[in-house]
């Protein structure tokens, strides 16, 4: 059974800093990995999708990497802003089922 873990569970950093969120998964037989953000009381917004054959994806200040063999992904956020405050979830797709991580609650301090 796939298990997805995100560390840390919560993170607070001053505005302007670069930061890294971590995601690890136990079964490397995945189709893809997706990073989402969720604001309080809202739905999930997709940030980046990495297919299993890819190593990384970039969108603006965000960069996500995937190392399938070690079961790890990182989400790098450059020059953090208060608007980046949210919960970040990673999810892996395998055997037609999406398994979510436990999430990292990020707070950017102005």
Partner 1 sequence: DVKVTQSSRYLVKRTGEKVFLECVQDMDHENMFWYRQDPGLGLRLIYFSYDVKMKEKGDIPEGYSVSREKKERFSLILESASTNQTSMYLCASSSTSPGQGLHYGYTFGSGTRLTVV
> For binding to partner 1 (CB under 8 A), which residues are involved?
31-32, 34, 36, 41-46, 49, 51, 89, 91, 93, 97-98, 100, 102-103
Report in angstroms how near the CB of residue 74 gets to partner 1 at its nearest. 18
Q: Could you tell me if 88 and 10 are in contact, meaning their C-beta atoms sit under 8 angstroms apart?
A: no
Q: Could you tell me if 107 and 84 are in contact, meaning their C-beta atoms sit under 8 angstroms apart?
A: no
- Nearer residue to partner 1 within complex by CB, 77 or 90: 90
Beta 44-51 vs 56-59: how paired, if at all? unpaired
- Nearer residue to partner 1 within complex by CB, 74 or 102: 102
Q: What angle do CA 107, 110, 8 make, to 5 degrees?
A: 20
- Nearer residue to partner 1 within complex by CB, 80 or 87: 87
């Amino acid at each position: 059974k796939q298990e997805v873990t995100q560390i840390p569970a919560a993170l607070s950093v001053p505005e302007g800093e670069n930061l890294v969120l971590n995601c690890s998964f136990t079964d490397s037989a995945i189709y893809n990995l997706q990073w989402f953000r969720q604001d309080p009381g809202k739905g999930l917004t997709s940030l980046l999708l990495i297919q299993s054959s890819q190593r990384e994806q970039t969108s603006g200040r965000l960069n996500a990497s995937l190392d399938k063999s070690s079961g790890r992904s990182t989400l790098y956020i450059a020059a953090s802003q208060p608007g980046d405050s949210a919960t970040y979830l990673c999810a892996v797709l395998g055997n037609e089922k999406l398994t979510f991580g436990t999430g990292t609650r990020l707070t950017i301090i102005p």
